[in-house]
Amino acid sequence: MATIRTQPSAAPVIQALRSIGYNAQTAISDIVDNSIDANSDYIQIEFDYDIDSGFIRIEDNGIGMTDSELQQAMTIGSKDPRKKRAKEELGRFGMGLKTASFSMGKRLCVITKKNGIISERCWDLDYVSDKNEWLLYETIPSEIKDKIGQVGENSGTIVFVDRLDRFCGYGTKKVLKQDSYYSKVKRIHKYLEMVFHVMLEKGLIITINGNTLYPWNPFLEGNQRRIEGEEQIIRVNQKLVNITPYVLPHPTTFNQVEYRYAGGIKGWRDQQGFYIYRENRMVSYGDWFGMFPKDVPSELVRIKIEFSNEADDDWKIDVKKSSISVPDEAKEDLQAIAKYYRQLSQEMMLYRTKATRTGEKIKGTLNTWELSTDDINSSYILNRTHPVLTEILKAVDIDLRRKINVYLKLVELGSPCNLLKTANMVKKEEQQIDEKSMKLIVDYAEILFSTGIELDVEKVAETISMMAGFEGIEIHTIRTIIDKEVNSNASNNT
Ligand SMILES: Nc1ncnc2c1ncn2[C@@H]1O[C@H](COP(=O)(O)OP(=O)(O)OP(=O)(O)O)[C@@H](O)[C@H]1O
Ligand SMILES: [Mg+2]
């Protein structure tokens, strides 16, 4: 079939590319990604305020680019997103450098050094729009030469963006005031401390206007009181995903400054949820992805999820590296894990439950059921130290507490698992009753007699014998126990 070569026109495409939804924080992060991919360990970011000629400058000491690599790098769509990327590489689409820069300003200059050779290029969007063609300047304009400065001794790259119309209203009537400009810079500072915290912890140095970034770890690494859940590894479309849940300590264990700091950029309630990392770089934070509401009792839960760049398709990573969607295959597992830890957070918030020992991994002590095993038998028993139960039992008088305990014992004996086990049991020749069952019969008989309903021993024995958990005990044995053990109340009724 015949085809007609149809070139996109430059001017409208530029406008569209400028509006793919970056904000200043995600844009700067995307440029920093490139420096990290280029093996930099020192990245200096500078935000310069000037009503007419402010700029953003990002300098790294990475491997730099040759002239042809730079030419390729400045091309829109410089790499095929479908190609396999190197292990740990953060880039994917061949777009970030351009789209992130254009989302902030109208001019992008890059100067880079590799093997001792310096190369430079410049996109001027006013010129591209004017000519309606993708015309890239081979050199950077002389008026910014002294602002952009020199690449370090060995190798490295400087990305320079100015004419900051989108970043601070350059050329419009609404130019940001200086204090708002620097408040914005402060927010970027905090955002980078969060999304790059793993790299910062590993020794990467990033400065903004000379101030060194300090890693902000959402899971409060080093806090002895936090609970670290068991790491779980699941497979999504054959690729491994690591999940590590954390429940942070109760708010009262912090002083005011620590508490505010641990709350992160959005505050405690909004920072709960999943934290998703792609190659150690946070791409999504504090989000339950519609599985649960963000409520105060669950605000102690933060769950780390890590995937590799091989799984980009499954998680639908976007150009901005700031949004993903949870693969259907992973949803059920994530929901189940989150549900458990949310409940734990709720219990800690409402009842101030503590982990058995500070810093120790949780071992299911908050399950309502626990498996009890000895050499021969195993059965499910209720967790009698569950904080909700403890709270209820504390609130009632002794008599009611006893009744609740008897009732719970019956629930336990009647649990479907225990019933199955009993049904399979071979009846013993001689009926032997353990002390616990004996006590239970007595307790229950006493409760039945105390209801005031007219009951004789026969009736009570029959009722108990039909109850779950007592199937294995013959009625006359029950009757004998009641006859012997239950108080005079019983004998009066006989
Ligand atoms: N600071 C830098 N140092 C060395 N090379 C760089 C630097 N910035 C960009 N590059 C090169 O330019 C290429 C294009 O960068 P760009 O950010 O546009 O796309 P990408 O990183 O490949 O993918 P993505 O769109 O997902 O970010 C990179 O793949 C890299 O080869
Ligand atoms: Mg990139």
Q: Quick: pLDDT tens for 55-64.
A: 999 999 999 9
Could you tell me if residue 100 is inside a domain?
Answer: yes
Which is it for strands 273-278 and 301-307: parallel, antiparallel or unpaired? parallel
Measured in Å, residue 100 CA sits from the centre of ligand 1 at 11
Quick one: 260 and 115 in the same domain? no
Whether the per-residue pLDDT at 245 is higher than 90: the answer is: yes
Reported as half-sphere exposure (CB side, CA atoms, 13 A), residue 358 has a value of 7
Residue at which a domain ends, from 184, 212, 240: 212
Quick one: 100 and 152 in the same domain? yes
Could you tell me if residue 218 is inside a domain?
Answer: no
Considering only CA atoms, which residue is closest to atom 21 of ligand 1? 91
Could you tell me if residue 107 is inside a domain?
Answer: yes
In this prediction, what percent of the chain has a pLDDT beyond 70?
88
At 372, the pLDDT band (50, 70, 90 cuts) reads low
Residue 166 CA: distances (Å) to CA of 24, 94, 96, 125, 162: 9, 22, 16, 13, 10
At 366, the pLDDT band (50, 70, 90 cuts) reads low
Q: Which of 311-320, 378-387, 396-405 has the lowest mean pLDDT?
A: 378-387
Quick one: 333 and 431 in the same domain? no
Could you tell me if residue 217 is inside a domain?
Answer: no
At 482, the pLDDT band (50, 70, 90 cuts) reads confident
- Which ligand 1 atom lies nearest to the CA of residue 79? 22
Which pLDDT does position 360 carry in this prediction?
Answer: 41
In this prediction, what percent of the chain has a pLDDT beyond 90?
56
At 371, the pLDDT band (50, 70, 90 cuts) reads low
Measured in Å, residue 65 CA sits from the centre of ligand 1 at 10
Burial of 303 (0-12, 13-18, 19+ CB in 10 A): buried
Quick one: 333 and 375 in the same domain? no
C-alpha dihedral sign at 153, 157, 161, 167: negative
Whether the per-residue pLDDT at 143 is higher than 50: the answer is: yes
Quick one: 314 and 424 in the same domain? no
Nearest ligand to the C-alpha of residue 33? 2
Which pLDDT does position 364 carry in this prediction?
Answer: 42
Instruction: Supply φ then ψ for residue 131, to 5 degrees.
Output: -85, -15
The ligand 1 site (C-beta within 6 Å) comprises: 30, 33-35, 38, 60, 62-65, 73, 78-79, 91-98, 157, 319
Quick one: 44 and 18 in the same domain? yes
Nearest ligand to the C-alpha of residue 77? 1
Quick one: 263 and 204 in the same domain? no
Quick one: 248 and 192 in the same domain? no
Average pLDDT over residues 273-300: 95
Quick one: 194 and 80 in the same domain? yes
Considering only CA atoms, which residue is closest to atom 13 of ligand 1? 73
Could you tell me if residue 360 is inside a domain?
Answer: no
Q: Which of 78, 97, 309, 324 to mutate to test the pocket of ligand 1 (most atoms within 8 A of CB)?
A: 97
Residue at which a domain ends, from 316, 351, 386: 351
More confident position, 488 or 468: 468
Average pLDDT over residues 286-297: 94
Average pLDDT over residues 334-356: 79
Nearest ligand to the C-alpha of residue 97? 1
Distance separating alpha carbons of residues 344 and 245, to the nearest angstrom:
11
Average pLDDT over residues 20-47: 97
Mean pLDDT rounded to a whole number for the chain: 87
Measured in Å, residue 287 CA sits from the centre of ligand 1 at 28
Which pLDDT does position 426 carry in this prediction?
Answer: 37
Measured in Å, residue 216 CA sits from the centre of ligand 2 at 23
Could you tell me if residue 115 is inside a domain?
Answer: yes
Distance separating alpha carbons of residues 209 and 220, to the nearest angstrom:
27
Quick one: 396 and 248 in the same domain? no
- Which ligand 1 atom lies nearest to the CA of residue 156? 3
Residue 468 lies in domain: 369-493
More confident position, 454 or 490: 454
Distance separating alpha carbons of residues 248 and 239, to the nearest angstrom:
29
Quick one: 336 and 261 in the same domain? yes
Q: Which of 66, 68, 79 to mutate to test the pocket of ligand 1 (most atoms within 8 A of CB)?
A: 79
Quick one: 20 and 152 in the same domain? yes
Which pLDDT does position 300 carry in this prediction?
Answer: 96
- Which ligand 1 atom lies nearest to the CA of residue 62? 3
Measured in Å, residue 17 CA sits from the centre of ligand 2 at 15
CA nearest to 83, candidates 75, 92, 74: 92
Q: How many domains does the chain have?
A: 3
